[in-house]
Amino acid sequence: MTAAKTIPDRAETPFAFSDANQAEVARILAKYPAGRERSAILPLLDLAQRQQGWISRSVVEAVTAVTGCPPIHVWEVATFYTMYNLAPIGAHHVQICTNLSCWLRGSDEVLRAARDVFGVGFGQTSADGTVTVSQVECLGACVNAPMMQIGDDYFEDLDYDSAKALFQAIKDGRPLTAGSQVGRQCSAPQDRMTTLTTDPTTAEGGRWTAPDSPAAGGSGAD
Amino acid sequence: MPKLTIDGIEVEAEAGMTVIQAADLVGIEIPRFCYHERLSIAGNCRMCLVEVKPGPPKPAAACALPVAEGMQVWTQSDLAKKARKGVMEFLLINHPLDCPICDQGGECDLQDQAMAFGSDRSRYHEHKRAVTEKYLGPLVKTAMTRCIHCTRCVRFIEEVAGVPELGMIGRGEHSEITSYVEQALTSELSGNIVDLCPVGALTSAPYAFHARPWELHKVQSIDVLDAVGSAIRVDARGNAVMRVLPRLNEEINEEWLADKSRHAIDGLRYQRLDRPYVREDGTLRPASWEEALRAVAGRLLATEPDRIAALAGDLADAEAMVLLKDLMGVVGSPHLDCRQDGAALDPADRAGYLFNPTIAGIEDADALLIVGSDPRWEAPILNARIRKRYLMGGFPIAVLGPRTDLTYAVEDLGNDPATLEALATGRHPFAETLAQASRPLILVGQGALARPDGAAVMGYVRRLAEAVGAVGADDWTGLAVLHTAAARVGGLELGFVPGAGGRDTAGILAGAEAGDIQVVYLLGADEIDTARLGDAFVIYQGHHGDAGANRADVILPGAAYTEKNATYVNTEGRMQQTWLAVHPPGEAREDWKILRALSAAMGKPLAQNTIRDVRARLAEVSPTFAPGNDGGIVPATSTPGFAAFTGRLEATPFASPVRNYYMTDPISRASRTMAECTDVFIHGKTHGTTGGDGGLTAAADSKRTGTDG
């Protein structure tokens, strides 16, 4: 796999930061001291990706122009991070986690839902260009596995039906509700407390004391 | 000074050293791929793992671990050995087993270290990865499947060469070393990444599949294709120079070598003068030595001494020059010059033509003004030293000259000679910067001196140097003249300049044009306008059929720098000697012998019969050539007093004498590799379109064929 091969010629994909983003570029650059413009490569690439959806050679050159870094430095960063898309993607980017927790909890079903609704699997863009489905590594929401990321939002506690409903909403252009799809609050237990059910401040509640502290009676046997 | 023990040996290392450096101090070898003394530390190959106490119970990378008081290091413990064996196994997972068809074979760090530290079998059965070849220009051939991602090339190109064009893209197994868009590396030092590459991923394109290292005999010599005199090793097979590699010389080139010095050597095979020629009825016909020498001797004897002149070229060695000078003395002619570009260099004022601060001394300077020079093309090795000093910080650099993209940031003073006057008279702000520096360096190129107002330029430079304290101080002479010709300083040292009432280069050419000069002896002088030689009888002694030989009436075939034991003096005034690596082709002879034979043919034999005699004569002429001074410099005493000089500066902007870095002398002009470089780097041809003839295109294509892994 050579990332470079997927890049169309830059003449086909001209890029310039939009007027609104020009101000943002200035704001990002202002964060870093003079001579450290290289630090702005990550946020600038992100800004460009938000504008255009993916990182083309012309984006690299636009970032080169505003940071003064050699293009190879920008290109190294763009190819290192998987979050930068090096090829055009659909209007919505569906990133399904298939890492251990999500897979054990049914990420295969989420993928099946995607296939059923959009007709495409990992690494593919639907025929109408609305959606690109990607396989990603752990996104750090294992408690509410399985999960996926669409755009900037996490959608958690998925199963085939809820995933399919979300995908159908995308297809129909309806708004989505981010977060847990089963009504869970943050990462709290789903229906009832299964741990810490007693008052932790009492001995019965399993009050924990350090083994060597005097309160433990010096035995350390607890 | 922390003390530590390595394998039980106590080492006193400097604070800030790393364990691998401390181990090198006492000669304990720790294997490494990514670590290189002259590059930043990457710590990514993990080959230098050692066991260290105190510390975490795991091996540590010796290249990135600073020494500490009381540290105990084991490089041969079971833990260290097992760790290295594991690293080697990982490195070999994707490395192809193609040593028999790899150009690095026999001089490969990976091969050697796999033998020394690796396992004798592989446990890996999966497919190896394959990586597409990259195009890095006509000099560097790639086989990226072999790459182990040490990033030495990336760090060299960014740090030493100063053209950040290489990088590692992707991550993990998909990492690749590449340039941004497939384009040739625009560095004049790109050949060094071939030396740095510890595997066969980057190999020399012109040398590809030509020889194996064990077939070559290696001769230590010096380079003469620019005036810095880099230390080189000439690798020859039979009577053919196969390649040139740099040799360590901290005073000059450290361990780098410029691309022309490395790759112009195929020019030694083409356009050679391998037998004497005599012009008859307008065409040159092959002749015997006797015939040719008799023709020359007869002409020299028959001509009035005042109508005979001699010019020494850019590659002439000191032995030949001193004999030619003596011969001109015998003839009785004062018309001789070694400054064929007409540079205003006063042979009486040594400080006025040497690179006084020395190349290594650039690192001691604290401000730099470059006048009329493009060091990047005139002396890439010296330019790398300036960049090294620049990276240390606190080094303001200003350029009054033709080029400002010198791989370091400079203050652009434009290219108007009048600015020099402003500087010399203190009316320019940078003069103040120089004055405040304790060791200001003023670098003057031949582009500023080889012009009609060259003497005035030198006058203003001297005046500026005196005003800012660059000359006159006891321990620092900051006036630095950068030469482009290897022969020039040697010629000036032995006084190959007009005698009393003699003509200089311009005078000789004007005289020949007007018919006043009837015989011109060209000792490898090709950089003059030969059309101006008029009807003069031209004798050309040299090794290549270039401009001078074209015009010559008699050609005396000499030896190139790889074919003779000869003395050269570099721009610093450092006397060095080349060693014969191969014999001159055909009937060509060492140059001093030709002149000795000519003197005999004239019936006025010179007293020198052996190279020893010639060198004794050289030592008589100048202390620079004293026996035992090989590699040394006789410092010039700077004589203030030139400040009074003022002349008129012309308005013409300075131009570097090097118009095309890849073709500056008869050898590089004959080189096909350099022709290809000219196409790519000067004419901007992209790969695939290189060259008009089939041979070149085929050669370019063959460079892209890699291995099948």
The burial of A60, by beta-carbon neighbours within 10 Å (0-12 exposed, 13-18 middle, 19 or more buried), is given as buried
Q: What ipTM score was computed for the predicted complex, to two decimals?
A: 0.85
pLDDT tens digits for range A64-85: 999 999 999 999 999 999 999 9
Nearest CB neighbour to B174, from listed A1, A70, A76: A1
Contact A170, A150 (CB under 8 A): yes
Residues A153 and A112 in one domain: yes
Bridge-partner residues for B645, per DSSP? none
Under an 8 A CB cutoff, do B164 and A1 touch? no
Containing structural domain, residue A163 = 92-180
Q: In terms of domains, do A26 and A73 share one?
A: yes
Specify whether A172 is located in the same domain as A96.
yes
Q: Would strands A179-180 and A153-156 be described as parallel, antiparallel, or unpaired?
A: parallel
Residue A174 has pLDDT above 90, yes or no: yes
The last residue of one of the domains, among A34, A55, A80, is A80
Q: Which of A1, A4, A70 sits opposite B164 (nearest CB)?
A: A70
Same domain, A165 and A141: yes
Q: B127-153, pLDDT tens digit by residue?
A: 899 999 999 999 999 999 999 999 999
Instruction: Say if residue B642's pLDDT is above 60.
Output: no
A57/B170 Cβ within 8 A: no
DSSP letter, residue A121: -
> pLDDT for B228-265, tens place per residue?
999 999 999 999 999 999 999 999 999 999 999 999 99
In a domain, A221, yes or no: no
DSSP assignment of B237-304 equals ETTEEEEEEE--BTTTTBT---HHHHHGGGGGTSSB--S-EEEETTEEEE--HHHHHHHHHHHHHHS-
Q: Which of A38, A54, A80 is the C-terminal boundary of a domain?
A: A80
Could you please report the per-residue DSSP string of B477-543? --EEEEPS-TTHHHHHHTT-S--TT---HHHHHHHHHHTS--EEEEES--SS-GGGGTT-EEEEEES
Radius of gyration (Cα) for chain A, nearest Å?
24
Per-residue confidence (pLDDT) for residue B687, from 0 to 100: 59
Q: How many structural domains comprise chain A?
A: 2
Given an 8 Å threshold on Cβ–Cβ distance, is B180 in contact with A71?
yes
pLDDT for the residue B272: 95
Whether A107 and A151 share a structural domain: yes
The model's pLDDT over B478-536, given as tens digits with 9 standing for 90+, comes to 999 999 999 999 999 999 999 999 999 999 999 999 999 999 999 999 999 999 999 99
- Asked if the model's pLDDT at residue B688 lies above 70, the reply is no
Cβ burial of B708 (10 Å; 0-12, 13-18, 19+) is exposed
Q: How far apart are CA B205 and CA B227, in angstroms?
A: 26
DSSP letter string, B243-255 = EEEE--BTTTTBT
Q: Structural domains in chain B? A: 3-93 (3.10.20.740), 96-215 (3.30.70.20), 277-344+488-633 (3.40.50.740), 356-482 (3.40.228.10)
List Cβ<8 Å contacts ≥24 apart for B687-691: B687/B135, B687/B138, B687/B182, B687/B184, B690/B138
- Using an 8 Å CB-CB cutoff, list chain A residues near B181: 57, 71
Question: Nearest by CB to B180, which of A3, A75, A80?
Answer: A75
Residue A214: inside a domain: no
Q: Is B677 left (phi over 0), alpha (psi -120 to 50) or beta?
A: alpha
> Where do the DSSP E strands lie in B545-693?
554-557, 567-569, 575-577
Please report the number of interchain residue pairs, chain A to chain B, with beta-carbon separation below 8 angstroms: 38
Query: Quick one: A55 and A102 in the same domain?
Result: no
Residue B177: closest C-alpha in chain A: A76
CA distance B182 to B415: 34
Query: Can you tell me the distance from the alpha carbon of B9 to that of B409, in angstroms, rounded to the nearest whole number?
Result: 45
Whether residue B167 and residue A72 make contact (CB cut-off 8 A), yes or no, is yes
Which one, of B343, B312, B360, lies nearest residue B542 by Cα?
Answer: B312
Of A33, A48, A80, the last residue of a domain is A80
Q: Are residues A96 and A155 in the same domain?
A: yes
The beta-carbon neighbor of A3 closest among B131, B167, B170 is B170
Residue-wise pLDDT for B256-288, tens only, equals: 999 999 999 999 999 999 999 999 999 999 999
Cβ of A2 within 8 Å of Cβ of B132? The answer is yes
Q: Report the DSSP beta bridge partners of residue B61.
A: B49
Q: How many CB atoms lie within 10 A of CB B639?
A: 14
> What mean pLDDT is predicted for residues B551-556?
96
Position B676 scores a pLDDT of 94
Grouping H, G, I as helix, E, B as strand and the rest as coil, residue B335 is: strand
CB of B81 closer than 8 Å to CB of B147: no
Residue A211 has pLDDT above 80, yes or no: no
**Residue B176's closest chain A neighbor by CA?**
A2
SS3 A148: strand
Searching chain B, which residue's CA lies closest to the CA of residue A79? B170
Interface residues of chain A, partner chain B, Cβ below 8 Å: 1-4, 57, 60, 70-73, 75-76, 79-80
Q: How far apart are CA B389 and CA B387, in angstroms?
A: 5
Residue A200 lies in a domain: no
Terminal alpha carbon distance of chain B: 48
- The answer to whether residue A39 is domain-embedded is yes
CATH of residue A25's domain is: 1.10.10.1590
Q: Residues B82-108: pLDDT tens digits? A: 999 999 999 999 999 899 999 999 999
The verdict on A168 and A144 lying in the same domain is: yes
Residue A134: give its domain's CATH number.
3.40.30.10
- Token readout for A208 is 């924990």
What single letter denotes the amino acid at residue B609?
N
B171/A72 Cβ within 8 A? no
Residue A49 in domain: yes
What whole-number percentage of chain A has pLDDT above 70?
A: 86
Name the minimum distance, in Å, from the CA of B198 to any CA of chain A: 22
- B169 and A79 within 8 Å at the Cβ level: the answer is yes
User: How far is residue B469's CA from residue A40's CA, in Å, rounded to a whole number?
Assistant: 43
Dihedral Cα B61, B64, B70, B75, nearest 10 deg: 30
**In terms of domains, do A57 and A129 share one?**
no
Strands (E), B8-103: 9-12, 49-53, 60-61, 72-74
- Say if B164 is an interface residue toward chain A (CB within 8 Å): yes
- Is the same domain home to A74 and A97? no
For residue B691, name the pLDDT band (cuts at 50, 70, 90).
very low
Residue of A nearest to B180 (CA): A72
Q: Is B120 exposed, middle or buried (0-12, 13-18, 19+ CB in 10 A)?
A: exposed
Inter-chain touch B169–A76, beta carbons under 8 Å: yes
- Of the candidates A1, A2, A76, which has its C-beta nearest B167's C-beta? A76
Distance between A217 CA and the closest CA of chain B, angstroms: 35
DSSP A181: T
* CA gap B545, B286 in Å, rounded: 13
The answer to whether B306 and B333 are in contact (CB under 8 A) is yes
Annotate A34-100 with DSSP letters as a single string: TT-GGGGHHHHHHHHHHHHSS--HHHHHHHHHHH---HHHHHHHHHH-TTS-SS---SEEEEEE-SH
Mark yes or no for CB contact A2/B176 under 8 Å. yes
Residues of A in contact with B127 (CB under 8 A): none
A3 vs B171: CB contact, 8 Å cut-off? Answer: no
A156 falls within a domain: yes
- A96 in the same domain as A171: yes
Mutate which: A72, A81, A86, vs B, most B CBs within 10 A: A72
Query: Do residues A98 and A73 both lie within one domain?
Result: no
Cα–Cα distance, A173 to A151 (Å, whole number): 14
Any domain includes A218: no
DSSP B395-431: --EEEESS---SSS--EE--S-THHHHHHHTT-SHHH
CB-based contact, B170 to chain A, within 8 Å: yes
Largest CA distance in chain A: 77
Residues B172 and B328: their CA atoms lie apart, in Å, by 69
Chain A nearest C-alpha distance from B174 (Å): 7
Q: Do B171 and A79 touch (CB under 8 A)?
A: yes
The residue in chain B having the minimum alpha-carbon distance to the alpha carbon of residue A69 is B164
pLDDT at B120: 85
Q: Is residue A201 part of a domain?
A: no
